[in-house]
């Protein structure tokens, strides 16, 4: 077996106020996989994501990204390897223009001049937003901002793309466009979501996090059709959606 892109072992974490969010999480994601991270509100999904790129430091256990431990001395390289796309694109896009924003990450990695410009154009091209390169982010639609947010991370050429609620607040057309983009990317994806049909459509594998531990890890179809598991962890399929009647994508 090759080295997993994400290798989380026995990860536990308590916030400074004493609230413990994670109680020993084990998770392995291999190259090229698309994995959905499911779970009710307050399960610790966001806390787990913030450990993957070293924003939070493990209380116990360890996180390795392609064999490199998440530790202070590796932070810049870890943050290049793990690209996190946050839920609200207004938080992610903080520079005055789309070009500057997409350039922010690769410039922090030391790129300048033509190489930097090439990175920016390539990343925007992959999400179909090159024509908007000189616009200020607040003049874009919500769906366009979400796509630019994905580009800001792609520009760092990450080994794994971590998306926090990628389909939230998107209209159905934008939601489908984003799905097409994610499918077209040749990159490992970990997707935190409440949108179970979206997880089924995009991710062959699902991991369920509940009360700070992994309670299920298997094919998305198996997870979504396990009624007892779903009911025990406050997961519900939307009305009219039944994975049993839909062939696996």
Partner 1 sequence: MGAGHGHQLHFHGHSPVHRMPAHLKLLSLLSFIVLVVATPREQYWAFVVYALLLAGVVAISGVPAGYLLRRMVVEVPFVVFAALMPFVATGPRVQVGPFTVSEAGLLAAWGLLAKGTLGVLASLTLGATTEPRDLLLGLERLRLPHQLVQIMGFMMRYLEVVTDELRRMRIARESRGFTATSVRAWPALGSTAGALFIRSYERGERIHLAMLSRGYNGRLPVTHQAAATPAQWAQAGILPALALATAVLAVAL
Residue ranges binding partner 1 (CB under 8 A): 50, 53, 55, 76, 79-80, 83-84, 86, 88, 90-97, 100, 103-105, 107-109, 112, 116, 136-142, 145, 152-153, 156, 169
CB of 104 to partner 1, least distance (A): 6
240: left (phi over 0), alpha (psi -120 to 50) or beta: left
Residue nearer to partner 1 on the CB measure, 19 or 183: 19
| Signed CA dihedral, 125, 128, 132, 136: sign only | negative
Residue nearer to partner 1 on the CB measure, 140 or 187: 140
Report, in angstroms and rounded to the nearest whole number, the Rg of the chain calculated over CA atoms: 18
CB of 79 to partner 1, least distance (A): 5
Residue nearer to partner 1 on the CB measure, 33 or 88: 88
Q: What is the 3-state secondary structure (H, E, C) of 194-224?
A: CCHHHHHHHCCEEEEEECCEEEEEEEHHHHH
CB of 135 to partner 1, least distance (A): 10
Burial of 17 (C-beta count, 10 Å sphere; 0-12/13-18/19+): exposed
CB of 237 to partner 1, least distance (A): 28
Residue nearer to partner 1 on the CB measure, 78 or 208: 78
Number of Cβ within 10 Å of residue 198's Cβ equals 22
């Amino acid at each position: 077996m090759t080295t997993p892109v994400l290798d989380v072992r026995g990860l536990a974490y308590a916030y400074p106020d004493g609230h413990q969010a994670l109680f020993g999480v084990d998770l392995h994601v291999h190259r090229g996989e698309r994995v959905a991270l499911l779970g009710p509100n307050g399960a610790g999904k966001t806390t787990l994501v913030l450990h993957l790129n070293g924003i939070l430091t493990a209380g116990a256990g360890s996180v390795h990204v392609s064999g490199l431990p998440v530790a202070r001395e590796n932070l810049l390289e870890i943050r290049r390897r793990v690209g996190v796309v946050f839920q609200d694109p207004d938080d992610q896009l903080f520079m005055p223009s789309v070009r500057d924003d997409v350039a922010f990450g690769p410039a922090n990695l030391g790129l300048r001049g033509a190489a930097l410009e090439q990175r920016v154009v390539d990343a925007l091209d992959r999400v179909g937003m090159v024509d908007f390169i000189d616009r200020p982010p607040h003049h874009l639609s919500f769906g366009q901002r979400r796509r630019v947010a994905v580009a800001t991370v792609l520009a760092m050429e990450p080994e794994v793309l971590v998306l926090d609620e990628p389909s939230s607040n998107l209209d159905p057309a934008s939601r489908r466009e984003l799905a097409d983009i994610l499918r077209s990317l040749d990159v490992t994806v970990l997707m935190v979501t409440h949108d179970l049909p979206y997880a089924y459509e995009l991710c062959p594998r699902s991991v369920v996090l509940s009360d700070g531990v992994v309670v299920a890890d298997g094919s998305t179809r198996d997870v979504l059709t396990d009624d007892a598991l779903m009911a025990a962890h406050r997961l519900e399929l939307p009305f009219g959606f039944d994975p049993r009647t839909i062939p696996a994508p």
